[in-house]
Amino acid sequence: MNNCIAAQSGGPTAAINASLAGVIQGVLDRPEYDHIYGSLNGITGILEERFLDLTETFQEADNLELLKVTPAMYLGSCRYKLPNPEDDPAVYETIFRFFEKMEITAFFYIGGNDSMDTVDKLSAYAARVQSQVCIIGIPKTIDNDLCVTDHTPGFGSAAKYVASSLLEIYHDTAIYAPKSVTIVEIMGRDAGWLTAASALARNEYCTAPHLIYLPEAAFDKEAFLKDIGSLLETRSNVIVAVSEGIRDKEGNYISASTGSADNFGHSQLSGAGKTLEYLVQERLNVKVRSIELNILQRCGAHIASLTDLEESFCQGQQGVSLAAQGITGQMVIIQRTGSEPYQVSYGSSPVCDIANQVKSVPKAYINAAGNDVTPEILSYLRPLIQGQPKLAFDQGIPRYLPVPHL
């Protein structure tokens, strides 16, 4: 027997199941693996021997198609940081004992930069103990902040949700004559890619968002108030897109909450939008509202990008192809090989160059005033939100694959 196992980790996206579907399809299409297992709740499912055999369930093509469009993680997630092997070798021994017992020769971990840390540690450990198990990372994150790869699975769908919502918010706010300010808070702790994608809402009549603030540019409250003030001289409704992670020039978050830290040491943020709402209310005599797009921007699969889902699927397949060649310690990457027309190819890169790194929005994509993006970023972003997946509806709401009992 020669088996493999997949797991999903980190925050949900609309495309992380498309990558899992790609892994499953890759396994079903090739002769190398007899069974594909799914570890429940990321790597913790391996530690606790909680897993499913996916081979049977997904022999049925309908299930695989439904998996592709289902948001969040079919296999559940975790936020578990692997200890260093020197500090806690027992964890590694448990994992590799499980691999041996289940005759597993490949492990596919679908996740963001924290999950790539797990891939990095496991592959380094495997090399040290001369295990033949291939450890492959398959990227995902709505933040688009993984290095080396052109863009990340899940980002395009979130970007499409954000841009579509901004367009609809524009229609909603344009109806009243009295002056108003609407502040839309968008996810992105360290990187402003998703907030930048709000600019995709602009078209021949929609000028929103009128201001865009990313974590990559130092946020200045007085400049912000001045920006809004001058816009209100010429138009009634000002719409502002703001990243949850904006900071002042000293690096302090513009946020109402003080914040605790998660297992990876990230601050739990909320409230940049709310903070700015209060600021505008206090300082400018104008109606103001803040909108937090919240988790719907990552799980709103009903307006996913077909390009994103298809690419995510291909990256899952690519992961299987790498492992079948005996490659390990690598993350699947996507390379943009053409712009007009947009074309991509798939490859891989050592995960140690990617884990725990953050790809920020480069300066060339941010205007000099730090309150908007440049037109160049639109050419980069636009291809990623194209196409609509075909959704089925059950009694009026989208049909997704039932979540297994996790």
Specify the pairing of strand 237-243 against strand 211-213. parallel
If one asks whether residue 294 binds a copy of itself (CB under 8 A), the answer comes out as yes
Task: Using CB under 8 A, pick the residue from 252, 258, 285, 395 that binds a copy of itself.
Answer: 395
Task: Using CB under 8 A, pick the residue from 1, 177, 364, 368 that binds a copy of itself.
Answer: 177
Nearer to a copy of itself, 285 or 395 (CB): 395
Rounded Cα–Cα distance for residues 148 and 151 (Å)? 9
Rounded Cα–Cα distance for residues 35 and 102 (Å)? 10
Task: Using CB under 8 A, pick the residue from 26, 71, 137, 319 that binds a copy of itself.
Answer: 71
| Closest by Cα among 118, 113, 121 to 39 | 118
Q: What is the identity of the amino acid at 220? A: D
Which stretch in 239-247, 312-320, 323-331, 382-390 sits in contact with a copy of itself by CB under 8 A?
382-390
If one asks whether residue 359 binds a copy of itself (CB under 8 A), the answer comes out as no
| Closest by Cα among 65, 154, 161, 141 to 401 | 65
Least distance to a copy of itself from the beta carbon of 31, Å? 32
Task: Using CB under 8 A, pick the residue from 55, 94, 164, 281 that binds a copy of itself.
Answer: 164
Nearer to a copy of itself, 44 or 63 (CB): 44
Nearer to a copy of itself, 106 or 269 (CB): 269
Number of residues that bind a copy of itself (CB under 8 A): 60
The structure tokens 């309150």 sit at 371
Task: Using CB under 8 A, pick the residue from 69, 303, 324, 373 that binds a copy of itself.
Answer: 303
Q: List Cβ neighbours of 255 (8 Å cut-off, separation of 6 or more).
A: 244, 269, 270, 271, 272, 275
| Residue 112 φ/ψ region, left for φ over 0, alpha for ψ in the -120 to 50 degree band, beta for the rest | beta
Which stretch in 27-35, 97-105, 287-295, 353-361 sits in contact with a copy of itself by CB under 8 A?
287-295
If one asks whether residue 333 binds a copy of itself (CB under 8 A), the answer comes out as no
If one asks whether residue 46 binds a copy of itself (CB under 8 A), the answer comes out as no
Catalytic entry in 114, 117, 120, 143: 143
Least distance to a copy of itself from the beta carbon of 176, Å? 6
| Closest by Cα among 130, 69, 135, 120 to 303 | 69
Nearer to a copy of itself, 160 or 329 (CB): 160
If one asks whether residue 261 binds a copy of itself (CB under 8 A), the answer comes out as no
Rounded Cα–Cα distance for residues 397 and 327 (Å)? 42
If one asks whether residue 86 binds a copy of itself (CB under 8 A), the answer comes out as no
Tokens (6 digits) for 149:
């790869």
Rounded Cα–Cα distance for residues 284 and 229 (Å)? 8
* Radius of gyration, CA atoms only, the chain: 22
CB burial of 75-105 (b: ≥16 within 10 Å; e: otherwise) equals bbbbbbbbeebeeeeebbeebbebbeebebb
| DSSP states along 347-362 | EEEEGGGTTT---PPP
If one asks whether residue 375 binds a copy of itself (CB under 8 A), the answer comes out as no
What 3-state class would DSSP assign to 239? strand
Least distance to a copy of itself from the beta carbon of 188, Å? 17
If one asks whether residue 396 binds a copy of itself (CB under 8 A), the answer comes out as yes
If one asks whether residue 289 binds a copy of itself (CB under 8 A), the answer comes out as yes
If one asks whether residue 393 binds a copy of itself (CB under 8 A), the answer comes out as yes
Instruction: Provide φ and ψ at 197, rounded to 5°.
Output: -65, -15
Least distance to a copy of itself from the beta carbon of 371, Å? 22
Task: Using CB under 8 A, pick the residue from 21, 104, 169, 241 that binds a copy of itself.
Answer: 169
Nearer to a copy of itself, 169 or 254 (CB): 169
Q: List Cβ neighbours of 13 (8 Å cut-off, separation of 6 or more).
A: 71, 72, 140, 141, 142, 153, 154, 155, 157, 158, 298, 299
If one asks whether residue 172 binds a copy of itself (CB under 8 A), the answer comes out as yes
CA dihedral 108→380→187→169, nearest 10 degrees, is -130
Give how far Cα 361 sits from Cα of 148, 189, 199, Å: 13, 12, 14
394 is catalytic: no
Nearer to a copy of itself, 89 or 404 (CB): 404
Least distance to a copy of itself from the beta carbon of 101, Å? 23
The residues binding a copy of itself (CB under 8 A) are 8, 12, 41, 44, 70-73, 76-79, 160, 163-165, 167-177, 200-201, 203-205, 289, 291-292, 294-296, 298-303, 305, 382, 385-388, 393-398, 400, 402-403, 406
Catalytic residue numbers, as ranges? 143
